[in-house]
Structure 1
Amino acid sequence: MPSKGPFQIFVTGTDTGVGKTQASCALLSLLADAGLSPQGFKPYESGCASLSAPSDTLAMRAAARSTLPVEQLCPHRFRAPLAPGVAARRLGREPDWKTTLDAWERLRHGPVVAEGAGGLLVPIDSQRDIIDLIAALQLPVLLVARAGLGTLNHTGLSLRALADRGLTVSAVLLSRSTPTRDPSERDNAALIAERYRVPVLGPVTYLRDARRRHAAFREALRPLLPHRARGR
């Protein structure tokens, strides 16, 4: 990562459920441990059991040890477990883009880990997808992907989409989604690194215990951070 300015990154994934929020929380906790006072920014969250307590946003806020209100960290929240743009459409609403940019303006001068919803082409309103949000914020990307079979296609498509938009990829993080190690893991990591010339981190092992899983994400992501935030 560049050394100038505060640490900022956008965490996106090749799909839903690949470990984006776990990666975001790991990064935020490392930055908080280093005394850098980070903020987690998840402007769109759907599948919220409670609109006042969106689970991913609250997890990121806790990891950052932030006291900012939910409304500032996550201005667009939806109950339906759907893409944000689809959830909004069902409600007959259009998420206000200016509200998103205003929320970012209040955070952009300090360390930030921003997180998307699902993959790059998930709609966030009637005109924009997650990749458009990344382009607007102009943040380097951490792409979280499954470690095993199928990841070459999903990761390759995502990396090509980011490259087509001229967006910087800091690293790909591979994460195991099942207890069984896939025999393709080692080849996948090497091929992604060689073909796309991007650092590949992990794979983060599958652990049922949440604390151990969090520790594994922290260890895998430590190389992304400024030297002063890498302390153990």
Structure 2
Amino acid sequence: MAKAPFQVFVTGTDTGVGKTQVSRALLSLLADAGVRPQGFKPYESGCESLKHPADALALREAAGSTLPMEAVCPHRFRAPLAPGIAAHRLGREPDFRVTLAAWERLRMGPVVVEGAGGLFVPLDSKHDVIDLIQVLRLPVVLVARAGLGTLNHVALSLEALAAREVPVRAVVLSRSTAARDPSERDNRQFLEARHGVPVLGPVPYLEDARARHAAFRRALRPLVSERARGR
């Protein structure tokens, strides 16, 4: 029997924790394995260009995909706000049916879906990110900062996901600054022991974009290696 395709939803404990970098690393590893993945960023805000949203473009490039941007990222907003708030300011309501229709095009194959911000970021007047995760029925890769506060943020996120019976494939810790944090040395061991979830990283902070991408790939390779050839 063929394995199920590699599918995950990358979410975070906050904004700016490294979700796009994790998503790019996963997609590039899958592409290297010949799996021909797709990236899906259904909601992106803070877009300097609505025609060329930076995060969605990065996912499409990492996957080696040629899908039109409407399929990769159906909802795009200029304001650097939660998508639902950005839409509300424009007097608009993002159509959740459009999101699900875009997902239908991708759901049978290997795919990495990237959320917007954390679990309770509003996508429209009725749905938060966690609602989308539950509807898509995908396991989660949870990205968190490596440092003081992450034990609380990760625990709250894991509790919310458990309440919705959403499986968690791994927690990925990422350093967001060059400064060292004395709490960092305990985070991985504590999270694994307390919550029974695999923890990857921490991925070091590197100013060079290529070096940082390579570091994320090294950290995430174990997550991909066992499933990458599922079809």
TM-score, normalised by the number of residues in structure 1: 0.96
Whether 1:52 and 2:51 are equivalent positions in the alignment is yes
Deviation of residue 181 (structure 1)? 2.3
Query: SS in structure 1 opposite 2:30?
Result: helix
Match in the other structure for 1:195 = 194
Which residue is equivalent to 2:150? 151
User: How much does 1:77 deviate?
Assistant: 0.4
How many angstroms does 1:226 deviate by?
A: 3.7
8 Å contact from structure 2 (residues 142, 168) kept in 1: yes
- Tell me the equivalent position of 1:36: 35
**1:179 Cα deviation after fit:** 1.0
Compute the displacement of 1:188 (Å). 1.1
Q: Which blocks of at least 5 consecutive residues in structure 1 are unaligned?
A: none
**Distance apart, 1:228 and its partner CA:** 7.2
Verify: 1:171 aligned to 2:170, yes or no: yes
**Contact 1:11-1:24 within 8 A present in 2 as well:** yes
The CA deviation at 1:176 is: 0.5
Give the 3 Å change call, closer, same or farther, for CA 189–53 of structure 1 in structure 2.
Answer: same
Question: Alignment length, in residue pairs?
Answer: 228
1:220 paired residue number: 219
Instruction: Tell me if structure 1 keeps the 8 A contact 2:7–2:110.
Output: yes
Distance (whole Å) between structure 1 residues aligned to residue 19 and residue 227 of structure 2? 24
* Consecutive unaligned residues in structure 2, runs of 5 or more: none
Question: Secondary structure at the residue paired with 2:112?
Answer: strand
CA distance in 1, matches of 2:139, 2:222: 15
Aligned residue for 2:131? 132
Displaced runs of 4+ in structure 1, greater than 6 A?
none
After TM superposition, give the deviation of residue 191 of structure 1 in Å: 1.1
Distance apart, 1:104 and its partner CA = 0.2
1:8-58 deviations in Å (ceiling 9; x for gaps): 000000000000000000000000111111000000000011111000000
Answering whether residue 66 of structure 2 is matched by residue 67 of structure 1, we say yes
Residue 11 of structure 1 contacts residue 116 of structure 1 at CA under 8 Å; is this kept in 2?
yes
Q: How far apart, CA to CA, are the structure 2 residues paired with 1:212 and 1:227?
A: 24
Q: Normalization by structure 2: what TM-score?
A: 0.96
Is the Cα contact below 8 Å between 2:150 and 2:187 reproduced in 1?
yes
Determine if contact 2:6/2:228 at 8 Å carries over to the other structure: no
What is the distance in 2 between the residues matched to 1:187 and 1:227?
A: 27
Identity %: 73
Q: CA offset at residue 229 of structure 1?
A: 4.2
- What is residue 10 of structure 2 aligned with on the other side? 11
Q: Name the SS for the 2:113 alignment partner.
A: strand
- CA RMSD in angstroms comes to 1.2
How far 1:186 sits from its partner (Å)?
A: 2.1
Q: Tell me, what secondary structure is at the counterpart of 1:177?
A: coil
CA deviations over 1:108-152 (Å, ceiling 9, x no partner): 111000000000000000011000000010000000000111101
Tell me how far apart the structure 2 counterparts of residues 196 and 162 of structure 1 sit (CA, whole Å): 12
Cα displacement (A) at 1:183:
1.6
Note the alpha carbon deviations across 1:61-92, whole angstroms, 9 max, x for none.
00000000000010000011000000010111
